């Protein structure tokens, strides 16, 4: 990308399985930006909390654990590598067990506070594509481009089902029900719920390819960055 063009932050929010992480990674690659998968951060905390035998309701204990974790996100060959205290946990955070517990951990106030602070620091220098549930509304309310990406629950379940590989350990219908339940927990929680920011642009990815969606966001991003560059001159 032209060095003279301003760098912006791009927030991509939406429910599970809408394609956020794949799209966000492609947009970051095309713009030469850094991709931050905030769901992976909540998953990493969940993994460590479960390993430590903590209750997913224990705000103080899980918050303390979250503060002491060193979470690093590195660009990997097949997506983002998640390193916690020096160990690669990228695979371990994608299991059904983590899927089932992460929404409870993500409800905890001290965990959200800690993660949001970390995420804001990552975005300070601009040039970040961050995906999650509360990025446009809460973490980066000043992001120059906000996108709310969604798809029907069935389509999202099919995508997650494929991710689980040859032995999914769950039926598609069950997975659709679990996704709907996770949506409900994410939307109804008190702190920073899953919500479309009023100034976010809505994309329904049902029946659209990931490439089409990513290209649309890149074009919006470039247009905004060019406008800012022109205004700054």
SS3 category, 198: coil
Residue 38 binds ligand DC (CB under 6 A): yes
| Whether the Cβ atoms of residue 145 and residue 224 lie closer than 8 Å to each other | yes
Q: Which of 35, 42, 148, 220 forms a contact with ligand DC (CB under 6 A)?
A: 42
Please classify residue 210 by burial: count the beta carbons closer than 10 Å to its beta carbon, then call 0-12 exposed, 13-18 middle and 19+ buried.
middle
Q: How far is CA 224 from the centre of its chain?
A: 22
135 or 213, CB closer to ligand DC?
A: 135
With left for phi above 0 and alpha for psi between -120 and 50, is residue 209 left, alpha or beta? beta
Q: How far apart are the first and last CA of the chain?
A: 18
Contact 224, 129 (CB under 8 A): no
Q: Give the C-alpha separation, 111 to 141, whole Å.
A: 19
- Closer of 31 and 111 to ligand DC (Cβ): 111
Question: Shortest gap between Cβ of 105 and ligand DC (angstroms)?
Answer: 8
Q: How far is the CB of 229 from ligand DC (least distance, A)?
A: 29
Q: Using CB atoms within 10 A of its CB, is residue 142 exposed (0-12), middle (13-18) or buried (19+)?
A: exposed
Q: According to the binding rule CB under 6 A, does residue 122 interact with ligand DC? A: no
Binding of residue 16 to ligand DC (CB under 6 A): yes
Q: Which of 43, 146, 156, 159 binds ligand DC (CB under 6 A)?
A: 43
Interface residues for ligand DC in 128-167 (CB under 6 A)?
Answer: 132-135
E-strand spans in the chain? Answer: 9-13, 34-37, 71-76, 79-84, 87-88, 128-132, 145-150, 201-204
The verdict on 183 binding ligand DC (CB under 6 A) reads no
> Does the protein bind ligand DC through residue 35 (CB under 6 A)?
no
Q: Is residue 18 within the footprint of ligand DC (CB under 6 A)?
A: no
Cβ at position 104, least distance to ligand DC in Å: 9
Which residue, 105 or 218, is less far from ligand DC as judged by CB? 105
The two tokens of residue 67 are: 């503060």
Is 19 a binding residue for ligand DC by CB under 6 A? The answer is no
Question: Does the footprint of ligand DC cover residue 90 (CB under 6 A)?
Answer: no
Single residue of 30, 39, 215, 216 touching ligand DC by CB under 6 A: 39
Q: Which residues bind to ligand DC, rule: CB under 6 A?
A: 16, 38-39, 42-43, 102-103, 106, 132-135, 182, 186
């Amino acid at each position: 990308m032209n060095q003279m063009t301003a760098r912006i932050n791009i927030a991509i929010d939406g429910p599970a399985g809408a394609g956020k992480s794949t799209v966000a990674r492609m947009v970051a690659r095309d713009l030469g930006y850094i991709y931050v998968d905030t769901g992976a951060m909540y998953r990493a905390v969940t993994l460590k909390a479960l390993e430590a035998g903590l209750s997913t309701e224990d705000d103080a204990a899980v918050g303390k654990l979250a503060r002491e974790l060193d979470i690093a996100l590195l660009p990997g060959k097949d997506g983002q590598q998640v390193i916690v205290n020096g160990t690669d946990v990228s695979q371990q955070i994608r299991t059904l067990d983590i899927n089932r517990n992460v929404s409870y951990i993500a409800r905890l106030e001290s965990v959200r506070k800690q993660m949001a602070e970390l995420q804001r620091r990552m975005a300070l220098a601009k040039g970040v594509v961050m995906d999650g549930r509360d990025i446009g509304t809460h973490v980066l309310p000043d992001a120059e481009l906000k996108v709310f990406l969604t798809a029907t629950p069935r389509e999202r379940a099919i995508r997650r089902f494929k991710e689980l590989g040859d032995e999914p350990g769950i039926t598609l219908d069950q997975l659709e029900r679990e996704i709907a339940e996770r949506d409900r927990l994410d939307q109804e929680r008190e702190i920073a719920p899953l919500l479309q920011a009023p100034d976010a642009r809505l994309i329904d990815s049902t029946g659209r390819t990931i490439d089409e969606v990513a290209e649309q966001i890149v074009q919006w991003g470039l247009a905004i960055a060019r406008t800012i560059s022109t205004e700054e001159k």
